[in-house]
A and B are shown apart, each in its own frame.
Chain A
Amino acid sequence: MTTGSTEKVNGAKALIKCLEKEGVDTLFGYPGGQIIPFYNELYDSDLHHILVRHEQAAAHAADGYARATGKTGVCVSTSGPGATNLVTGIATAYMDSVPIVALTGQVPTSLIGNDAFQEADITGITQPITKHNYLVQKAEDIPRIVKEAFHIASTGRPGPVLIDLPKDVQNTEIDLQYPDRVELRGYKPTYKGNTQQIKRAAEEIANSCRPIIYAGGGVISSNASAELVELAETIMAPVTTTLMGISSIPTEHPLYVGMLGMHGCKYANYAIQESDLIIAVGARFDDRVTGKIESFAPNARIIHIDVDPAEISKNVKVHVPIVGDAKQVLKSLNKYVQRCKSEEWIEKVNQWKKEYPLTYRKSQDTIMPQFVIEQVSEACRDAIIVTEVGQHQMWAAQFFKYSKPRTFLTSGGLGTMGYGFPAAMGAKVGRPDKTVINIAGDGSFQMNSQELATVVQNDIPVVNVILNNGYLGMVRQWQELFYDRRYSYTFIKGSVDFVKLAEAYGALGLRAERPSEVRPAIEEAVRSGRPAVVEVIVECEANVYPMVPAGAAINEIIDLEEH
């Protein structure tokens, strides 16, 4: 099971050597008392460590790194508060199935359970938000556990794994031997879809006149974009994506009908509702997608391809379940399918597309937030777009034209405000060749703005475009539409001068107050090659449309003209 010679090292050094064996080159972290032995060894190692200013940012950065590169991200913190500060980042990664490994210091084994200084039961706390976690009891277990952790995080349905490392375990000397494979009898993900089921799916497709492909984040995490597009083009079916599935097919592909669900395109929602066959790939029929579940796609048969068997028939009844990796299943499905009788259907969908385009009220004097996204899209075609959570996130999903997978990183499942900036930082570290832009709101940005220090110290040129409307906009929108415009605690105008804030940290700060200033500011920020903040003063009560109210069927849509 093991190869190579053994060497005597302490647990901390063993951990670093194991990380190197796993191909890790970058860590995001923050030191503290119970993780000092690890940091002591890190001082002499070749691993690149980015010192964040809050542990939450370390977890999000590892997440952004993982989403942008497809590799497993790693974050480190100390015990107690350091570890609990990772929790939101771990939960974010868990909900969106992102492979990260979190390393936490822990009080010495002799003190565990004693309410020692900076002790927290982090394996207990993170049990429901990790794919698996470990409390290392013996230093000898470190190599096996690291091997297993990276295996579990990155295979099957990916997800976060946490390793809790008591200080004495980090200090204990062991004979280091790194195992070259894992033995986990309780963990054997299925990758290859059942051939019979794939043939049944092909038959369903052949019999369908109104098929639609519904693609989720699984397409991106399994790198199945090419296979997805091939399927759509072969059978001639429109493709809609979830928020997590955005960028799995180019926005401008003629068969793409945009995002579906609560803030989805009208034509995407109409198409899924009227379809006779849904081919779901790496998506999970989440409530933001289906709306009122009883009214969802009433006439459709459903093929569901997912690597996680627990997602099949969880929310909707599935007619042809296929458990397997999206890429592998689509590859073999593509061998059996042919063009289906969808000419009329495609025509109808295209008609809807013309009739109900995504749109907004244009203005000469005020900067409309959607306009800003369009300007970013034109100025930085190939950028990686990262978002915070709220209205700006939906506009970034709706109005940027994506062309390649892994270029739209957003907290879809947990909806974590404060995710975007640190995740953008991680993405930029992982993909230094790409322009990385964080689309933010003035509310979200303030949740992790301290990371300006990190990007300046480590020279990570991320551009933050803040759509400043002076409100916690998405909540304000709900208050406007459903709570009689009672804007209870959503007004935040004048919180801070974002330009001065950027400058205080040594970053570039720019402001756009008129439509004509938007494009030059974005271009200047990108060209500067420096960490930057572009504050854009936008229309303060713009809403995200279309919108399906919570609990309504997804074709019961509130649109712009009604308000």
Chain B
Amino acid sequence: MKHTLAVLVENKSGVLSRVASLFSRRGYNIDSLAVGVTEDPDISRITIVVHGDDHVLEQVTKQLNKLIDVIKVSDIGADDAVERELALIKVAADVDTRSEIMQIANIFRARIVDVAPKSMTVEVTGDENKIQAIEKLLRQFGIKEMVRTGKIAMVRGPKKV
């Protein structure tokens, strides 16, 4: 079972390493991780996707809360949250395939952010499934390189984490 955790932390050096080392030390697996500042410059938000049963999730949450620099840990349920990842995909492209790739990009509301004689770079945003879907379609042209961010998530409606 996958869980998305939003972890609010003090925006200080060394905090990410404390969080990451806690996962490795206690034997929890991180599926994805994204870090950035928030509306408050003193607070960073780490979004962690972790898999495990309820017992593991409970332990992860409690152990994270024990870190002095962790301010708050929230489990964001997939049903009532907006979840996004971003990927840049460099695809092999020439005159014959360029327009087909652009069509696929359009369907996924992805953007072409770079074009060269033998390649195109597609920027796509969405949840995990969408990114997997476009990746699968673009594979036939030859993916030269791909980079993905970790997932970020926000609860729908007026509620804050």
B97 at the interface (CB under 8 A from A): no
- Shortest C-beta distance, A159 to chain B (Å), equals 10
Assess A186 versus B70: contact at CB under 8 Å? Given A127-B18, A128-B21.
yes
Contact with A along B27-67 (1 / 0, CB 8 A): 00000000000000000000000000001001100110111
A127 in contact with B59 (CB, 8 Å): no
CB-CB nearest 3 A-B residue pairs: A310-B62, A132-B68, A186-B71
A309 in contact with B18 (CB, 8 Å): no
Chain A interface size, as a band, is 10 to 19
A313 at the interface (CB under 8 A from B): yes
> What is A's interface to B at a CB cutoff of 8 Å?
123-124, 127-128, 131-132, 135, 152, 184-187, 308-310, 312-314
A314 in contact with B10 (CB, 8 Å): no
Chain A residues with CB below 8 A from B17, complex form = 124, 127
**How many of B's residues come within 8 Å of A, CB to CB?**
21
Chain B residues with CB below 8 A from A312, complex form = 62
Q: How far is the CA of A123 from the CA of B67 in the complex (A)?
A: 14
A313 in contact with B55 (CB, 8 Å): yes
- Shortest C-beta distance, B41 to chain A (Å), equals 15
> What is B's interface to A at a CB cutoff of 8 Å?
9-10, 14, 17-18, 21-22, 25, 55, 58-59, 62-63, 65-72
B66 in contact with A310 (CB, 8 Å): yes
Chain B residues with CB below 8 A from A128, complex form = 21-22, 25
B68 in contact with A310 (CB, 8 Å): no
Please tell me which one of the listed residues B21, B55, B62, B67 contacts residue A186 in the complex, with CB atoms under 8 A apart: B67
B68 in contact with A309 (CB, 8 Å): no
A135 in contact with B14 (CB, 8 Å): yes
Q: How far is the CA of A425 from the CA of B58 in the complex (A)?
A: 41
Chain A residues with CB below 8 A from B62, complex form = 309-310, 312
The contact sample of 23 A-B pairs, CB cut-off 8 A, is A123-B14, A124-B17, A127-B18, A127-B21, A128-B21, A128-B25, A131-B68, A132-B68, A135-B14, A185-B71, A186-B9, A186-B10, A186-B67, A186-B69, A186-B71, A186-B72, A187-B68, A309-B65, A310-B59, A310-B62, A310-B65, A312-B62, A313-B55
Closest to A157 in B: B66
Q: How far is the CA of A450 from the CA of B25 in the complex (A)?
A: 34
Closest to B70 in A: A186
Chain A residues with CB below 8 A from B66, complex form = 308, 310
Q: How far is the CA of A310 from the CA of B58 in the complex (A)?
A: 8
Q: How far is the CA of A319 from the CA of B70 in the complex (A)?
A: 28
Chain A residues with CB below 8 A from B70, complex form = 186
- Shortest C-beta distance, A323 to chain B (Å), equals 10
Closest to A317 in B: B55
- Shortest C-beta distance, B46 to chain A (Å), equals 13
B68 in contact with A184 (CB, 8 Å): yes
A314 in contact with B59 (CB, 8 Å): yes
A152 in contact with B59 (CB, 8 Å): no
Q: How far is the CA of A124 from the CA of B69 in the complex (A)?
A: 15
Chain B residues with CB below 8 A from A313, complex form = 55, 58
Chain A residues with CB below 8 A from B65, complex form = 309-310
- Shortest C-beta distance, A448 to chain B (Å), equals 28
Q: Which of A123, A152, A187 has the most CB of B within 10 A?
A: A187
- Shortest C-beta distance, B57 to chain A (Å), equals 12
Q: How far is the CA of A487 from the CA of B109 in the complex (A)?
A: 71
B14 in contact with A310 (CB, 8 Å): no
Chain A residues with CB below 8 A from B9, complex form = 186
Q: How far is the CA of A309 from the CA of B10 in the complex (A)?
A: 21
Q: Which of A123, A186, A187, A308 has the most CB of B within 10 A?
A: A186
Closest to B21 in A: A127
Chain B residues with CB below 8 A from A123, complex form = 14
- Shortest C-beta distance, A168 to chain B (Å), equals 18
Q: Which of B55, B62, B72 has the most CB of A within 10 A?
A: B62
Chain A residues with CB below 8 A from B21, complex form = 127-128
- Shortest C-beta distance, B76 to chain A (Å), equals 19
Q: A128-B22, A131-B68 are in contact. List 15 more A-B contacts (CB 8 A).
A: A127-B18, A128-B21, A132-B68, A185-B71, A186-B9, A186-B67, A186-B70, A186-B71, A308-B66, A309-B62, A310-B62, A310-B65, A313-B55, A313-B58, A314-B59
Please tell me which one of the listed residues A124, A185, A310 contacts residue B63 in the complex, with CB atoms under 8 A apart: A310
- Shortest C-beta distance, B138 to chain A (Å), equals 41
Q: How far is the CA of A127 from the CA of B67 in the complex (A)?
A: 10
Q: How far is the CA of A314 from the CA of B26 in the complex (A)?
A: 12
Chain B residues with CB below 8 A from A186, complex form = 9-10, 67-72
Chain A residues with CB below 8 A from B72, complex form = 186
- Shortest C-beta distance, A61 to chain B (Å), equals 26
Q: How far is the CA of A123 from the CA of B13 in the complex (A)?
A: 12
- Shortest C-beta distance, B80 to chain A (Å), equals 26
Closest to B71 in A: A186
Chain A residues with CB below 8 A from B55, complex form = 313
Closest to A312 in B: B62
Closest to A129 in B: B25
Chain A residues with CB below 8 A from B59, complex form = 310, 314
Closest to B10 in A: A186
Q: Which of B9, B65, B66 has the most CB of A within 10 A?
A: B66
Closest to A131 in B: B68
Closest to A159 in B: B66
Chain B residues with CB below 8 A from A131, complex form = 68
Closest to A161 in B: B68
